[in-house]
Amino acid sequence: MLVDGRLNVYLGSRDVEVMRLLEETEEWQKLVAWMMVIWSFLPGSSIPATESMEDIERATLKSLLQQPSALPRFEDLFTGGMFSPTFYMGYKDNLKRICNQARAERLASEPPPP
């Protein structure tokens, strides 16, 4: 649907199923791309809040730990880089927390400099 010159897309349960399949098959690059789509279109989606949000957050963290080079793209989402203000409807803090956790876990797993 096009509203005010913007494309509005809503996610559903099948989108979460795709996420789970990519995670199960360890398709990390594809999962990163899919998680960007999911986070971009969460506002207004029909995804059930509690269970699916926990799955989305878990899969996001897992994908960022597997593909750390994707972290700046996810951080752009919550810094307001490329998405509309509707993104800030409760999702900004969740994604920021996940990105911070991924960064902290990556730093903790790296060996100290010589």
Rounded to an integer, the average pLDDT of 7-18 is 69
Q: Which one-letter amino acid corresponds to residue 25?
A: T
Backbone phi, psi, residue 7, to 5° = -85, 120
Are 87 and 43 contacting, i.e. CB atoms less than 8 angstroms apart?
Answer: yes
In tens, the pLDDT along 37-95 reads 888 777 666 665 566 888 999 999 999 999 999 999 988 877 765 555 555 556 778 88
The per-residue pLDDT for 7 is 46
Hey, is 6 helix, strand or coil? strand
Domain ranges of the chain: 2-104
Are 67 and 36 spatial neighbours (Cβ–Cβ below 8 Å)? no
- The pTM for the full model equals 0.78
How far apart CA 53 and CA 3 sit, in angstroms, is 26
Look at residue 67 in the predicted model and tell me its pLDDT: 93
Cα–Cα distance for residue pair 3/1, rounded to 1 Å: 6
pLDDT value, residue 61: 96
Q: From the centroid of its chain, how far is CA 27?
A: 15
- 5 vs 10: CA distance, rounded Å: 16
